[in-house]
A and B are shown apart, each in its own frame.
Chain A
């Protein structure tokens, strides 16, 4: 049973494009949703979302959570080749005792 599902599985764009990555979840006692970027070693933390409708922004990246529809999106504007990576979504639930990762979205940005 999938608890955290990311789409698309992979994406190829050109520099300057805007991309939207999706993460849907189905868990009990939701606590937070986390976005990570993984390039080489450990995933790099991007955002933590706990409240619906509040956009979190960092440079060209932004993310928002919809707790009613149980999903989150990660937007990247004006993509660069350095944005090429696997983007992971993870959900903390059951009072923070559980953490489940989605399968990731592989983004490739071509020059």
Chain B
């Protein structure tokens, strides 16, 4: 099956620093990748949709200057949390869709737990 990896799996950083999270599709080319954030009570919020070679589409209320997304290749998308603050602490999850997806199925990465001190 399609495998999506994320790196790092967890990261602790100081307030004000920037953190980059990588999302890779290991055995397929992902034309579209999605970034989610997990909130309390396990709800997932879609932050942005990332298409290879073009600018990401951000959901309403998500600061594009704070959450920088780059989808430079068909197998890699990165999320950079700039000037991180404690309220940015969360689980960030990516997913990827294959080019031949018929039913919009997505394959999820293992998530990255970010803790901002």
Contacts and interface: CB of A to CB of B under 8 A. Distances in A.
Interface of A: 2, 34, 36, 38, 41-45, 48, 86, 88, 90, 96-101, 103-104, 106
A96 B89 CA distance: 14
Contact of A42 (B9, B41, B45, B103): B45
A77 B108 CA distance: 27
Given A97-B113, A99-B91, A103-B1, A42 B10 contact: no
Interface residues of B, number: 23
Contacts of B91: 99
Contacts of B67: none
Nearest to A100: B110
Given A88-B108, A104-B105, A106-B103, A99 B38 contact: yes
